[in-house]
Amino acid sequence: MLTAWLDFHRATLLRRLEGLDDVDLRRPLVPSGTSLLGIVKHLAYVERWWFCIVFAGQQLDVPWTDEDPDADWRIEPDDTTEEVITLYGREIARTRTCTEGAGPDDVARYPNSAKTLRWIMMHMIEETARHNGHADIIRELIDGITGE
């Protein structure tokens, strides 16, 4: 059930992008500078962080640093829409691999973490759903289309 809810919210996010061109997907319409494509990029790296780095204990890179904590939100001039959407799909697939065969009460391998897979799944459902709300607002500001 947790996987089904997370998959629902993942798909909902991608539906918010449908019918928009690259300019609209990159356009920041809120004071924080968040864009629809930036939300997708952020969630791709959050998937990587929680499921593969924290839960599975893999050594993978993330774009943020202490000096640039929001790098995962930023769409660089050379980032294409296709690349960001592909990144998100690739990280979701990696997530499935990182959690394959694990039980909901299995504990993360990241040092000093007592988080279970169940906790991580619930957190990711909440995180993705919350960002879907942000995406709904940005999409409505772009062209008036509202979410479900």
Strand-pair partners of 107: 116
Beta carbons of 138 and 145 less than 8 angstroms apart: no
Confidence of residue 148 (pLDDT cuts 50, 70, 90): low
* pTM value surpassing 0.75: yes
Chain Cα centroid distance, residue 63? 13
Q: Which fold has domain 2-143?
A: Four Helix Bundle (Hemerythrin (Met), subunit A) (1.20.120)
Which pLDDT score is estimated for 48? 98
Over its C-alpha atoms, the chain yields an Rg (Å, rounded) of 15
Parse the chain into domains and list their residue ranges: 2-143
Which pLDDT score is estimated for 147? 75
Q: What's the rounded Cα separation, in Å, for the pair 16 and 13?
A: 5
Q: For residue range 69-96, what is the model confidence (pLDDT) as tens digits?
A: 999 999 999 999 999 999 999 999 999 9
